[in-house]
Amino acid sequence: MIFLFVPYILLFLLLDLSSFCFTDLLYTLSSLPRDLNFLEHTSDIGWKEYHRAKPLIIDPGLYSLQKADVFWVSEKRSVPSAYKLFTGSAWMMLTHQFIEYSIWGWDNLPRTVLMYYANFLSSPEGYFHTVICNAPEFRNTTVNHDLHFISWDNPPKQHPHFLTLEDYSRMISSNAPFARKFGRDDPVLDKIDKELLGRDPDGFVPSAWQDTLKMNTSDDPQYTIKDVNELKPGPGAERVKALITGLISVDGFKDKHCI
């Protein structure tokens, strides 16, 4: 999880170590509504109802010092009737307000859903989606996109391909600020650093928050922080803005939350 700070905005990003982030996201978000939660979601849980929601599992990792796979018991459970299940991407960007609600749960919904998903394989693909879409004060803040470029196996879209130089053009044209997943030391990472981020090997991404690069006696780069709140957009800012603006400007956006 990454905390992303823009003046007067605090966002939580759920990423994994094989994700790669394009910059300019901060600048784009500073000019958009500040209550938006980006998570791909749907109420059509399909095969997950019978293979994830109804089965009961036991996780030996909760009580054993040895690593072992979960195992299933013969009993089944019913799908909840007090709230509707949702599913989607495990990668998302959520607002401080919603995360605070998920922690405090003043109407007990987050904890009730948490207890259900405690017995659910791949719970990050459903917990936050179910909470936000069953909470009246937050369901209309959803944007049905995870802000990622991912090349999935098809079908069943369960395991993403490793991105390579062959995916570079599609990655850029997607306008997504994040991409996954990448193999260790893949050449496409160097291309992203050089052409998109302007980053030198082992250096920081150039930005308005840092002063002019200086060199010390050992030729190691030295950076002087000027103002961490100063934002200077790069070429990627327009791409990210086009993506997000398109998502929230589509006809019927206000009527397409949590369906």
Q: Is 0.95 surpassed by the pTM of this model?
A: no
Residues 6 or more apart whose CB falls under 8 angstroms from that of 242 comprise 175
User: Of the given ranges (55-69, 103-117, 188-202, 226-240), which has the lowest mean pLDDT?
Assistant: 226-240
> What residue spans of 168-258 are helical by DSSP H?
168-173, 187-191, 235-249
Strand-pair partners of 148: 178
User: Of the given ranges (67-81, 144-158, 200-214), which has the lowest mean pLDDT?
Assistant: 200-214
Mean pLDDT of 186-197: 87
Largest CA distance in the chain: 68
- Confidence bin at 113 (pLDDT 50/70/90): very high
Q: Please, what is the angle between helix 127-134 and helix 109-117, to 10°?
A: 150
pLDDT surpassing 60 at residue 10: no
Mean pLDDT of 188-198: 85
